Amino acid sequence: MISKRGEGKKASASVRQTSAESSPEEMAAFFERRLDGYEEHQLLAIQGAQEFYPFTAKLLPAAAGAEVLDLGCGTGLELRYYYAVNAAARLTCIDLSQKMLDVLQKKYAAFSPRTVCGNYFAMDLGRDRYDAAVSVESMHHFTYEEKVFLYRKIFFALRKGGRFVLTDYLEKDPAAERVGQEAKERTIRQYGIADGRLYHIDAPLTAEHEMQALTEAGFERVEEVGRWQNTSILVAYRGCEG
C-alpha cells in the first residue's frame, strides 16, 4: 500500500559532497570536517528540508514518555521539531560522530536525550524496546543487502505496533539506482574498503526497492507518505502479530 502526499514545490538538488568513485572519506570524518556548516547545508542546500523535517516529526509518537530511536541523528535537526510536538519523549540518538552528538546534547540538554556514539550496524539495538524509530538523510549510503540486515534489527527493536519513519534521498528510476550501486562497488574495490567500515558514498535505492527492503526485513506495511523531489518519507509498521 502506497500513499503520496505533501509534494514539495521546489526542485530538490541536494548538494552531495562525496559521490562514488571519488576519493572516499570515512563517515564520521566526513561530517566532522563539515560540522561548522552542517545545519545550514541540511536546511538550505537540500531543497524541501524545511518542510520534510517538521513533517517527519509529526509522524512520531505524541504520547508522553514515548521511547524513540534516532539512527544517524547528527546534530539532531529533526529533534528541534519533535520536541515541539512531544517534549516528554525519551530519545536514544545514535551517530558515528561524537562531535555531532556533543552539539546535539548541548542544544537539547533540557530534554536529556541519551546519545550513543557508534556504528548502528554493529551495535545491539535491543528487542521490543522502542515505540518508534526514525532516520533522516542517513541510509542512502548503503546497499540493499546492508539495509535488509539493519532494517531487520530495527524491526525487532520496535515494540509490536511500532513504526519506523525513514526520510531519505532516493532515486527516481532503477537505471540511476544501478549506476550508483555499481559505482559504489567499484570504489570499494579500488580503495580496498574493508567490511564494517562506513564511508560517505552515496548509493540510494529507488522508493520501490527501499520499500521492498523494509518488507523483506519483516515490516508488515510500508507507505510512502511524502516526497520532495529526491527526498521521500516512508513509514514502516511492525504489526501486532509476528
What are the grid coordinates assigned to 62, written together?
505524541
Q: How much is the pLDDT for 195?
A: 65
pLDDT of residue 196: 65
Successive 10-residue mean pLDDT values, the chain, 242 residues: 34 39 79 87 88 97 97 96 97 96 97 97 96 96 94 98 97 93 85 76 94 98 95 93 44
Instruction: Name the residue ranges covered by the structural domains of the chain.
Output: 27-237
Q: What CATH class is the domain 27-237?
A: alpha beta
Category of 192 on φ-ψ map: left (φ > 0), alpha (ψ -120 to 50) or beta:
left
Closest C-alpha to 212, from 240, 231, 234? 234
Strands (E), 10-106: 67-71, 90-95
Contact 26, 200 (CB under 8 A): yes
User: Could you tell me which residues are beta bridge partners of residue 15?
Assistant: none
Q: What's the confidence (pLDDT) of residue 16?
A: 43
Q: How far apart are CA 118 and CA 96, in angstroms?
A: 5
